[in-house]
Structure 1
Amino acid sequence: MDKSIRSFLFFSCCLVIAFLVALNLLVFDKGHWSIYLSILLLSPAYFFLFGKKYFKSHAVFSSLFVLTALTLVNYFESPIYAWVVFAIPAVCAWPAVIIGGKKSGESGYAFLISTMLALSYIGLNLSFETRFPFSIFTTFVIYWWPLAVTFARFLRIFSVVGTIWTTLFFMVTNLVTTDTIWWIYPVFALLFWPLSLFFARYLFAYSILATLLLSIFFITVNVITTPHVIWAIYPIFGILFWPLAMYFFVYRRRGVRRLFS
């Protein structure tokens, strides 16, 4: 992008800002909506003015623009509750990643920044919103960054670690939200992630392990929900046809082809 194009786009942003302010003052004079949009437009204007060489400073100033706009929205629209404080860690994560550069792809830096973000939300949870432990959800999402950076190259290990991490999340969420046991349902579906990565190439073995997993699931649900009524045998009976079909139509046919080839 050459200098003339950047100059054109910068003055275009300025023209749009002036138009929005005039529209807000002359036509739609109720509210301060032009202020929020104008501040957000300063971010691309800054980028067009200085170009690609200032990515780090652009991330810092853009974060400040976003926080300023959110603060004004909070002040003018809902001054009773300071909800803007919950957006601060998330917005600050943007310049933290950009400033980190290549270090953002390293597990140590990713774990450090993720821990700082998670602790900040835990502090906000304990200080501003003690009615519900929402920091469980933010912590779960934030730590996918270091997990992905550390194990993304090793898909099988990543599937196991991701399954364990998600299982812990569902168990803790179930514990703090309701007395009804529901975490086993998403976890059961999640177990097929590592199972598929490890055994998808071996169709017959995969069908056997998947059948065992499904059988354990139905038996567990039967015991937890309606222990006085035995119904798990019905879906298990139908599932048994899966490995049976794999044996006769895949595994055994491969053995016959090898014998006569």
Structure 2
Amino acid sequence: MRKSTVIFSGIGAFLTISFLIIINHITTPDNQWSMYPSFVIVFWPIIVYYIAMKKYKGLSLVSALILILFLVIINYETSPVHPWFLYASYPILWWPILMYAGKWRKKLSFAIVSSGSLIAYYVVLNVILTPGYPWFIYTTFTFLWWPIIHYFVLTKKLMTFSVMSSLLTSVFFIIVNQVSTPHVIWAIYPVFVVLWWPLVVYCFSYLRHKNNDKTYKQTSR
């Protein structure tokens, strides 16, 4: 990709954003709508440049930081009292983190550390920003699956995975039931459905093993 393409994309983005800002100021100065399309357009020269230089890790880092900055601006403009941009900031940073992690991201230790840091991050946010309801149980349940799936994919222990996953899911529904609506016992319904998971896996494994033995006996005659 030639240098002229990068220069053209930069000039084109600058002129387009300037035009949108002027139109916004002339027509509706009370509503700063131009920042939304400008946020998308600003990625044009950035993507062109980093792809031309083949710096894909740098592209992920710069893009993540710009996206977080955009959320901070929107947060400040719309609801400065509550810093909701923090909920999305750390997950966005995982794009460059995964890029820079290299071969480590394929290891179980990386999944455990990553899952633990994400769980701790949202626990802290829950305690500091919204201590009234323990919503971190939902994020914790979600991020726990990362190392669990990673481990059982490596070991290929499908039966153990189904049993552990069923227990984890059942505990999750019971906790949500107790925290949200303790006067109504509804967790028994999804728990009953989830318990079919290891049963189906066991029956499937048993029948497959039985069919393989039957086929082996027939061919050995």
Q: TM-score range by the shorter chain?
A: 0.7 to 0.9
Q: Percent identity?
A: 31
User: Is 1:177 equivalent to 2:180 in the alignment?
Assistant: yes
Work out which structure has the larger RCO, using CA pairs closer than 8 Å and 6 or more positions apart in sequence. Answer: 2
Tell me which residue corresponds to 1:76. 77
Per-residue deviation, 1:135? 0.8
**Over the residues paired in the alignment, what is the CA RMSD in angstroms?**
3.0
User: Is 1:125 equivalent to 2:129 in the alignment?
Assistant: no
Judge conservation of contact 2:50–2:56 (CA < 8 Å) in 1.
Answer: no
Aligned partner letter, 2:27? V
Per-residue deviation, 1:96? 1.9
Distance 1:189 1:99, change over 3 A: same
Query: Out of 192, 204, 209, which is 1:188 matched to?
Result: 192
Tell me which residue corresponds to 2:97. 96
Judge conservation of contact 1:103–1:109 (CA < 8 Å) in 2.
Answer: yes
Per-residue deviation, 1:116? 0.9
Please report the TM-score for the alignment, with normalisation by the length of structure 2. Answer: 0.79
Q: Aligned with 1:33: secondary structure?
A: coil
Judge conservation of contact 1:40–1:69 (CA < 8 Å) in 2.
Answer: no
Query: Take 1:11 and 1:148, find their aligned partners in 2: how far apart are those partners?
Result: 47
Judge conservation of contact 1:63–1:92 (CA < 8 Å) in 2.
Answer: yes
Query: Take 1:9 and 1:201, find their aligned partners in 2: how far apart are those partners?
Result: 57
Tell me which residue corresponds to 2:49. 49
Tell me which residue corresponds to 1:157. 160
Per-residue deviation, 1:55? 2.1
Unmatched runs of 5 consecutive residues or more in structure 1: 204-257
Q: How many residues in Structure 1 have an aligned counterpart in Structure 2?
A: 208
Tell me which residue corresponds to 1:24. 24
Unmatched runs of 5 consecutive residues or more in structure 2: 208-217
Aligned partner letter, 2:23? L
Q: Which has the larger radius of gyration?
A: 1
Please report the TM-score for the alignment, with normalisation by the length of structure 1. Answer: 0.68
Query: Take 1:146 and 1:125, find their aligned partners in 2: how far apart are those partners?
Result: 23
